[in-house]
Amino acid sequence: MDNRTLIKTGVAGSVIAVLCCSTPILVILLGALGLSAWAGWLDYVLMPALVVFVGITIYALYHRRAEAVCCAVEAKQSQKKGISNE
Protein backbone atom coordinates (compact mmCIF):
# COMPACT_ATOMS: atom_id res chain seq x y z
CA MET A 1 0.00 0.00 0.00
CA ASP A 2 1.35 3.42 -0.80
CA ASN A 3 1.54 6.27 1.70
CA ARG A 4 -1.34 8.20 0.19
CA THR A 5 -3.72 5.26 0.66
CA LEU A 6 -2.48 4.68 4.20
CA ILE A 7 -3.04 8.34 5.08
CA LYS A 8 -6.58 8.28 3.68
CA THR A 9 -7.36 5.05 5.54
CA GLY A 10 -5.92 6.32 8.80
CA VAL A 11 -7.70 9.66 8.69
CA ALA A 12 -11.05 8.16 7.65
CA GLY A 13 -10.89 5.48 10.34
CA SER A 14 -9.87 8.01 12.97
CA VAL A 15 -12.74 10.34 12.07
CA ILE A 16 -15.27 7.50 12.18
CA ALA A 17 -13.94 6.24 15.53
CA VAL A 18 -14.00 9.74 17.02
CA LEU A 19 -17.55 10.37 15.78
CA CYS A 20 -18.74 7.10 17.27
CA CYS A 21 -16.96 7.77 20.57
CA SER A 22 -18.02 11.37 21.07
CA THR A 23 -21.54 11.32 19.68
CA PRO A 24 -24.40 8.92 20.28
CA ILE A 25 -24.63 8.03 16.58
CA LEU A 26 -23.62 4.41 17.08
CA VAL A 27 -25.77 3.97 20.20
CA ILE A 28 -28.83 5.28 18.37
CA LEU A 29 -28.07 3.06 15.37
CA LEU A 30 -27.62 -0.03 17.53
CA GLY A 31 -30.83 0.81 19.42
CA ALA A 32 -32.75 1.15 16.18
CA LEU A 33 -31.47 -2.23 15.04
CA GLY A 34 -32.37 -3.86 18.35
CA LEU A 35 -28.73 -4.41 19.29
CA SER A 36 -28.54 -1.92 22.15
CA ALA A 37 -27.04 -4.59 24.45
CA TRP A 38 -23.81 -4.22 22.44
CA ALA A 39 -23.53 -0.54 23.40
CA GLY A 40 -21.77 -1.49 26.62
CA TRP A 41 -18.93 -3.07 24.66
CA LEU A 42 -18.32 -0.11 22.35
CA ASP A 43 -15.50 1.35 24.45
CA TYR A 44 -13.59 -1.93 24.19
CA VAL A 45 -13.71 -1.71 20.40
CA LEU A 46 -13.70 1.99 19.55
CA MET A 47 -10.76 3.14 21.68
CA PRO A 48 -8.33 0.50 20.33
CA ALA A 49 -9.62 1.20 16.80
CA LEU A 50 -8.92 4.90 17.29
CA VAL A 51 -5.40 4.13 18.50
CA VAL A 52 -4.76 1.82 15.53
CA PHE A 53 -6.01 4.33 12.96
CA VAL A 54 -4.04 7.20 14.49
CA GLY A 55 -1.00 4.90 14.44
CA ILE A 56 -1.55 4.13 10.75
CA THR A 57 -1.75 7.86 10.01
CA ILE A 58 1.45 8.62 11.93
CA TYR A 59 3.25 5.71 10.25
CA ALA A 60 2.22 6.88 6.77
CA LEU A 61 3.18 10.50 7.47
CA TYR A 62 6.56 9.40 8.83
CA HIS A 63 7.31 7.31 5.74
CA ARG A 64 6.08 10.07 3.44
CA ARG A 65 8.50 12.49 5.09
CA ALA A 66 11.34 9.95 4.91
CA GLU A 67 10.72 9.48 1.17
CA ALA A 68 10.75 13.24 0.60
CA VAL A 69 14.05 13.61 2.46
CA CYS A 70 15.55 10.69 0.56
CA CYS A 71 14.49 12.13 -2.80
CA ALA A 72 15.84 15.56 -1.86
CA VAL A 73 19.22 14.05 -0.93
CA GLU A 74 19.37 12.08 -4.19
CA ALA A 75 18.50 15.20 -6.20
CA LYS A 76 21.25 17.21 -4.50
CA GLN A 77 23.80 14.46 -5.14
CA SER A 78 22.89 14.25 -8.82
CA GLN A 79 23.18 18.04 -9.15
CA LYS A 80 26.68 17.95 -7.63
CA LYS A 81 27.74 15.27 -10.11
CA GLY A 82 26.27 17.24 -13.02
CA ILE A 83 23.67 14.62 -13.89
CA SER A 84 20.56 16.03 -15.49
CA ASN A 85 17.14 14.55 -14.81
CA GLU A 86 15.82 15.63 -18.20
In single-letter form, the type of residue at position 49 comes to: A
Tens digits of residue pLDDT in 20-52 = 877 788 888 888 988 888 888 887 888 899 999
Is residue 30 in some structural domain? yes
Is residue 39 in some structural domain? yes
Is residue 70 in some structural domain? no
Is residue 15 in some structural domain? yes
| Least confident stretch, 8-22, 43-57, 65-79 | 65-79
Is residue 68 in some structural domain? no
Per the structure, the count of domains in the chain is 1
The pTM of this model reads: 0.68
**Would you tell me how many other CB atoms lie within 10 Å of the CB of residue 60?**
21
Tens digits of residue pLDDT in 44-60 = 888 899 999 999 999 98
Sequence-distant contacts of 8-11: CB under 8 A, at least 24 apart = 9/53, 9/56, 10/53, 10/54, 10/55, 10/56, 10/57, 10/58, 10/59, 10/60, 11/53, 11/57
3-class secondary-structure state, position 51? helix
Q: Which domain range does residue 55 map to?
A: 3-59
Is residue 83 in some structural domain? no
Is residue 32 in some structural domain? yes
